[in-house]
Amino acid sequence: MTSRIKICSPRMQEGRRILRFILFFLVTQATVPVAYSQAAAPALALKPVDLKLLVLTGSGTEPSFTAIQSFLNAIGIPHNDVVLAPAGGSAVPLPPLNDATKGFYQGVILATGNLAVCDAKGVCGSALSDADWTALDTYAASFGVRTLSYYTFPNPRYGLSYVSALNTTTTPGKLTFAAAASAIFPYLNLTHAFTVTNSYAYLATPISAVGETTTPILSIGTSTVGVLHKKPDGREYLALTFDNNPNLIHSLALSHGLINWVTKGVYLGSRQIYLTPQVDDLFLSNELYDAVTPGCKPGGFLIDPTSDLSSQCPNDQVGADDLVGLVAWQDKLQANPQTSHFQVTMGFNGVGAADPDTVIDTTDYR
């Protein structure tokens, strides 16, 4: 893979030598915990499960599938992705879920709630058979594992009834949080309604059959778009009715809470908030502190940090070997799924890049 180092061209003043660190926050204004507790699981006989998630998708082309893969990889959580009906390929069966001694998955994530696929004639249906759905339900109840339905058409399975559809690309929706959302997204400022856009959404109302409970957690307007749903046998679902992809603000903001919920807060991997360095004035030389040289430590330096010490201190300038080393370092980081999007940003204005003997106009920084 060829590493790319981002180059930008802001307006800069000569002599400025700084290293900026930009911390990316989404919509949070609160302290971000690495992990947090979840509500207790149903009282079940203790049955061990592997610390791995089962991710099921229909055709594998769903944006929600790409999104959940990206977020799981960023944390480093092991997951088995099963494309049940790959385009142009044969149907893939539901993998074994357990043996006599343990369960193979600590949770299940469905890219879409019904795992729908359509054939060339436009006839659509679920990529899972009725028997496979029953097997999933039995596993979830027997081993106490949770199911996240990442993009859901409202139906009673998830405690939802369809009201209408909303194209948020043309009509953005304001996502608001119910009180129950605080246990799932404690790292977000829940008083701040943020915009859902570039995503198709289904507006719904919560419903519950006898013995079931449905708790709304997310709304757009007066309609429900996210719920917690619990069956009488202990099965627990979290269902969202708006689509996701790896680059949407709402997908990025909600992802950790959803993953933490489906794993009950216990998983292999580590969520990180990364700093990305932005380096200005790439080609300008830098002064090296020299305690022996009196002029290299003027008395007014602390008062005036812009003091030009270039004529008093030893100088060092970035060379070709330094840039090659930087590329190799970034390549190594990007080879790790948890830092695959790490990118050094270099503020470039060109000053210092010319041959020392070349006369250049240092007054024009356009």
pLDDT tens, 311-340?
A: 778 888 888 888 899 899 999 988 987 778
Give the other-Cβ count within 10 Å of 206's Cβ: 19
The SS3 assignment for 254 reads helix
- 352 pLDDT more than 80: no
pLDDT (average), residues 184-189: 92
CA atoms within 13 A on the CB side of 345: 15
pLDDT of residue 26: 30
Helices (H) and strands (E) in the chain, counts: 4, 19
In this prediction, residue 176 carries a pLDDT of 94
| pLDDT band (50, 70, 90) for residue 122 | confident
Considering only CA atoms, which of 265, 264, 268, 270 is closest in space to residue 143? 264
**Residue 40 token pair:** 């207790």
**3 state SS of 268:** coil
Q: Which residues contact 360 (CB under 8 A, 6 or more apart)?
A: 351, 354
- Indicate if the pLDDT at residue 255 is higher than 70: yes
- Phi-psi region for residue 58, left (φ > 0), alpha (ψ -120 to 50) or beta? alpha
More confident residue, 107 or 14: 107
Options 3.60.150.10, 3.40.50.880, 3.40.640.10, 3.40.50.300; CATH for 53-262 is: 3.40.50.880
| Residue-averaged pLDDT of the chain | 81
pLDDT exceeds 70 at position 360: no
**In the 8-state DSSP scheme, what is residue 120?**
T
d(CA 7, CA 326): 14
Instruction: Give the C-alpha distances (Å, rounded to integers) separating 252 from 26, 29, 49, 113, 271.
Output: 7, 15, 28, 20, 13
In this structure, the number of other CB atoms found within 10 A of the CB of residue 290 comes to 14
320/214 Cα distance (integer angstroms): 61
Stretch among 6-10, 129-133, 360-364 having the lowest mean pLDDT: 6-10
| pTM reported for the whole predicted model | 0.68
Q: Sorting pLDDT into bands at 50, 70 and 90, what band is 287?
A: confident
Which of helix, strand or coil describes residue 315? strand
Q: What is the mean pLDDT of residues 182-187?
A: 93
pLDDT above 90 (res 356): no
Q: Are 158 and 227 in contact (CB under 8 A)?
A: yes
Q: Is the predicted pLDDT of residue 292 greater than 90, yes or no?
A: no
pLDDT band at 299; cut points 50, 70, 90: low
- Every domain of the chain with CATH number 3.40.50.880 lies at 53-262
Which residues 6+ apart lie within 8 Å of 180 measured at CB? 215, 216, 217, 228
Is the pLDDT at 162 greater than 60? The verdict is yes
Residue 154 near residue 165, CB atoms below 8 Å: no
pLDDT in tens, 209-254: 999 999 999 999 999 999 999 999 999 999 999 999 998 999 999 9
Tell how strand 223-230 and strand 236-240 pair up: antiparallel
Q: Where are the alpha helices (DSSP H) in the chain?
A: 63-75, 130-143, 249-262, 320-334
Q: Of 107-111, 149-153, 192-196, which gets the smallest average pLDDT?
A: 192-196
Maximum average pLDDT range among 13-22, 31-40, 355-364: 355-364
pLDDT above 60 for 304: no
> What integer pLDDT is reported at residue 194 of this predicted model?
85
Residue 348 clears pLDDT 70, i.e. is over it? no
User: Can you tell me the mean pLDDT for 353-358?
Assistant: 61
